Copies of this chain bind each other. A is one copy, B any other.
């Protein structure tokens, strides 16, 4: 993952996710680490020690001193920490030819085969390259196949020379595309594994689950129960009083089963102790709902840094703090404190603002949008939308991704990952803080620093991310992508019973970059007998106010069959002859009967009673207004 948070960490400190999804902090070894590093060497097995030193050295301070306090020019070194224990060490020493450095690794026996050496190599290579070193050389015992594989798979251009049981490996540090792809693949597998307990926990502890209604912890725990969670949930509170009929515990450690995910709802200052207790009890996925961290100023930032360091020391991952929680459709987990259940579906939502998440959940149902998962990332001290993209990429339940962003942690990483994911799953993004007022408000909200707007636009464009500007557009575009195939092109047919609506829609289509292509001659021929002579079979197709439900049902498949048409927008306003409900039902039926309709069909049926129920239930996407349908289709067609 290679995430470095410059805001709170010194240079050369990196938090990495390992192959099994656990995390590890890598940092330079300092003088005060001498004893711990000595212990690390002493604890190595004979085999590991031989592989490191190509013999049996005396293990004393002479082995340790050369790696302490690296200057990064002549010497670079990193140790991997598990809590306060050193479990890995790697370093380089520059040779007489200053373009080359010698490099060597050691990993505690019980921590081997988790990808730690690979992560150390990546980080050391970055540091060496910035010191002007062009090549790493390593002498590896030919029998040490694990280490040889590390060098082979890292993605650097490598050469090997073997002689007398030793293999000399030379790595060109200039980053190659192969290196980037290899690093991304490692990241991807590791991050997805690290997030699994958030998305598919068998056991959840809610720390701070109060017996009182109206409290965040109390409501969140009840939401878990109300959602009919497929796993087991355990309330944790000071008194161990049962909550909503479920036995409670005073600490996570008291719970008789292992806990996959701990949701922490205690007040900000009490979060560290609660997290520590859960981590000590073996929990590796922590979600902190509580506020009072980086969003409230210097003291909060310090509190957040301490919490993150604690989580790292345990190789765990942290969602939040200052968030609404997480809800996932498949295990029926609603670990949020909002008032709405998650409508199940195929959309993965990441929201940097809890409120936006709440708003989206309030409106999703009415808009016919279902969610595979909803993740409120809050201050995103650790888990970011980049990580969620990595998870959703492989998640079979997620077909569309929605991101609400107030800031970017790592824009280059975002661009790489989003571009890859967007190839198979459309990504819709809304970025707030696009004006000065909005950016000012954002900075006091989730401690976010907004980037330049032009840069954000370029970033989204390059990555193939569909950017929307407003909450209404977000819902419209999501409803369309969640329910319909992508259009193959920009040619849209507009079918209406009212000329005025057709004009509005034509205007909005053109403004949205769509084209009202002429229909094929055969299509016009096939339409004419269905319509009065005064009707216009040009596009927009004005069937006139006399059009009935049957007219729609017969005309719609004819137009959809036109090979020059990539998508259709059907419009209706009730005149004297037909009612909104019956026409809506006819439109829905017509689309069902088009065998394997692979073109998106949008409809705006304008009625005092709102969207007719038959449309809301159908495979047609309903819109309040002709223009909002055109705008949503225009956005989506950017991917055509």
Residues of A within 8 A of B (CB): 214-216, 219, 291-292, 296, 337-340, 351-356, 358-359, 362-363, 365-366, 404, 406, 432-438, 440-442, 444-446, 469-472, 496-504, 506-511, 515-516, 534, 536, 538, 540, 542, 545, 573-577, 579, 606-608, 610, 624-628
Copies in the complex: 2
Contact with A501, one of B291, B355, B516, B542 (Cβ below 8 angstroms): B355
Instruction: Answer whether A540 and B441 are a contact pair too, CB < 8 Å, given A339-B574, A404-B500, A626-B471.
Output: yes
Q: Is the CB of A576 within 8 A of B500?
A: no
Q: Is the CB of A503 within 8 A of B432?
A: yes
Q: Which residues of chain B are near A365, meaning CB under 8 Å?
A: 608
Q: Which residues of chain B are near A441, meaning CB under 8 Å?
A: 499, 502-503, 506, 516, 540, 542
Q: Is the CB of A506 within 8 A of B438?
A: yes
CB closest chain-B residue, reference A469: B627
Minimum CB–CB distance from A135 to chain B (whole Å) comes to 49
Task: Tell me the bound Cα distance from A508 to B497 in angstroms.
Answer: 34
Contact with A437, one of B338, B366, B509 (Cβ below 8 angstroms): B509
Q: Which residues of chain B are near A545, meaning CB under 8 Å?
A: 354-355
Instruction: Answer whether A607 and B437 are a contact pair too, CB < 8 Å, given A471-B627, A503-B445.
Output: no
Excluding A362-B573, A446-B499, A472-B628, 13 further A-B contacts by CB distance (< 8 Å) are A219-B576, A292-B534, A355-B496, A362-B574, A365-B608, A434-B507, A435-B507, A441-B502, A442-B499, A442-B503, A444-B499, A445-B499, A445-B542
Q: Is the CB of B506 within 8 A of A440?
A: yes
Q: Is the CB of A437 within 8 A of B355?
A: no
Task: Tell me the bound Cα distance from A435 to B444 in angstroms.
Answer: 42
Minimum CB–CB distance from A478 to chain B (whole Å) comes to 14
Q: Which residues of chain B are near A608, meaning CB under 8 Å?
A: 340, 362-363, 365-366
Task: Tell me the bound Cα distance from A40 to B496 in angstroms.
Answer: 55
Minimum CB–CB distance from A567 to chain B (whole Å) comes to 15
CB closest chain-B residue, reference A544: B291
A-B pairs with lowest CB-CB distance, top 5: A353-B500, A355-B498, A438-B507, A445-B499, A435-B510
Q: Is the CB of A437 within 8 A of B516?
A: yes
Task: Tell me the bound Cα distance from A37 to B262 in angstroms.
Answer: 101
Instruction: Answer whether A362 and B607 are a contact pair too, CB < 8 Å, given A337-B576, A441-B540, A444-B536.
Output: yes
Q: Which residues of chain B are near A435, meaning CB under 8 Å?
A: 506-507, 510-511
Q: Which residues of chain B are near A433, meaning CB under 8 Å?
A: 503, 507
Q: Is the CB of B219 within 8 A of A445?
A: no
Q: Which residues of chain B are near A628, meaning CB under 8 Å?
A: 470, 472
Q: Which residues of chain B are near A577, meaning CB under 8 Å?
A: 214
Minimum CB–CB distance from A33 to chain B (whole Å) comes to 39
Task: Tell me the bound Cα distance from A530 to B30 in angstroms.
Answer: 50
Minimum CB–CB distance from A436 to chain B (whole Å) comes to 7
Q: Is the CB of A606 within 8 A of B501?
A: no
Q: Is the CB of B502 within 8 A of A576?
A: no
Q: Which residues of chain B are near A575, meaning CB under 8 Å?
A: 337-339, 354-355, 358
Contact with A627, one of B215, B470, B625 (Cβ below 8 angstroms): B470
Q: Is the CB of A353 within 8 A of B503?
A: yes
- In the complex, 13 of the A-B residue pairs with CB atoms within 8 angstroms, ordered by the A residue number, are A337-B575, A352-B500, A355-B496, A355-B575, A358-B498, A432-B500, A432-B507, A433-B507, A435-B511, A438-B506, A441-B506, A442-B499, A444-B499
Task: Tell me the bound Cα distance from A504 to B475 in angstroms.
Answer: 14
CB closest chain-B residue, reference A365: B608
Instruction: Answer whether A363 and B606 are a contact pair too, CB < 8 Å, given A472-B628, A503-B445, A575-B338.
Output: yes
Minimum CB–CB distance from A29 to chain B (whole Å) comes to 40
Q: Which residues of chain B are near A502, meaning CB under 8 Å?
A: 441, 445
Contact with A573, one of B355, B438, B499, B507 (Cβ below 8 angstroms): B355
Contact with A359, one of B440, B507, B606 (Cβ below 8 angstroms): B606
Q: Which residues of chain B are near A501, meaning CB under 8 Å?
A: 353, 355-356, 359
Q: Which residues of chain B are near A355, meaning CB under 8 Å?
A: 496-501, 545, 573, 575
